[in-house]
Structures are given as structure tokens and as C-alpha cells.
Amino acid sequence: MINPVVLAAALSISIQRMAHEGLELGIGSGATHALTPDDFKSATKTGEANLYWLGYGFNSNWGVELSHESYDFDQLDSHYKNYSLSGVYTFFADSPIHPVAKLGFGVTEIISVFDVKTSAPQAKLAVGIEADFKYVSVGALFNYIFAARSNVNPGFEKGSVLIPAIYLTIHCPSIEKRVLKSAAPDKGE
């Protein structure tokens, strides 16, 4: 889980909003909930999930991110890793608190108790709310992950997982904006 002290420090950095243009680095933590199939759902309890991503904001609304989710379930000896490329859309980007949505595709790697690795194609949909500050944002997301059956691994039954999570994102302003800002003449001259 994200330490409450770290979260409070991030919130106190600044209340000045900044658009999501440029690079960003995010980290999140949440709980896993199996949704389908029914035998998978009944055999598991909630587990833990860690989320990491590297993103780039093209403008204040649109971005892209490369993400990694690592999660498990209590009462199961296997664990899971997702690798996704997602499009990101920020609604009402001019507001300091706003909804965000992500849609991505990638691969889920399933690692058994015997360290046998199999993989399946997956899709990810995430929706949540985010609060922006000068160089950081904090938020909560509901991540829905659907892993499909594949020809590579016909023994794997398709399944879906819900991961509610909280997160912290560090934003780096785009290099172009910093160069333009430093090249702009001072109004006092």
C-alpha cells in the first residue's frame, strides 16, 4: 500500500494544477477480485496488486502509457503479470479533480507454483478519478482486466479480474514547453 505520509507529502507539494503534457511515472496499489470464470471466482479470495506505468501526455486530454500490473490471489499459489500499452483520456482536464479512462491491450503472464510460465492476450479498461497538483497527481482507479484463451495456451480458460487501486503519478513537463518558456522574453524588459 502507498504510505499515508508519502501521500500527504505529495498533496502538500503544491495545489497549482499542471496539464498532463510530457512524461509521467506512476505507481499504485490495490486489491484483486476474480470475476470470471465461476470456478476461479469461488476458489479465490482477494489478493494484492501493484501497478506501475510510464506514460506520455500528448496534450491535456490524450496520452499513452506502458504499464505493468503484478498481482495474486489468496488461496492460490500462482501469480500474474500484465504488460499493456494503453490510450489514456482525461475528462474535464481544466478541472483540478477530474475523471480519467484508460483502454489497453497486451499480454497476461501466469506463473504457477512450479514456476511454469504461460501467457494469454489481454485487454484492460480502467476508469477513475484524479486530483492534479503541480508535479504530481493522486487518484483512484477501477482496473478491469480480461485475459482471453489463446492457441499458445489452450488449457487456460479465459478470465477477468477487477483491481480497485489508489495511485500516485509524478509528471515531468514536456521539454518543448520548458525550452519555449526559457526562450520567452521577460515582460519586464
pLDDT in tens, 141-166: 999 999 886 555 445 568 899 999 99
**8 has a pLDDT exceeding 60:** no
Give the separation between CA 145 and CA 47, rounded to whole angstroms.
15
Domain definitions of the chain by residue range: 4-183
Q: What are phi and psi of 42, to 5 degrees?
A: -75, -20
Q: What are phi and psi of 81, to 5 degrees?
A: -135, 130
More reliable by pLDDT, 73 or 184: 73
More reliable by pLDDT, 18 or 126: 126
Give the separation between CA 66 and CA 189, rounded to whole angstroms.
44
Helix (H, G, I), strand (E, B) or coil at 45: coil
The class (CATH top level) of 4-183 is mainly beta
Give the separation between CA 31 and CA 2, rounded to whole angstroms.
12
Mean pLDDT of 92-101: 95
pLDDT (0 to 100) of residue 13: 41
Q: What percent of the chain has pLDDT over 70?
A: 76
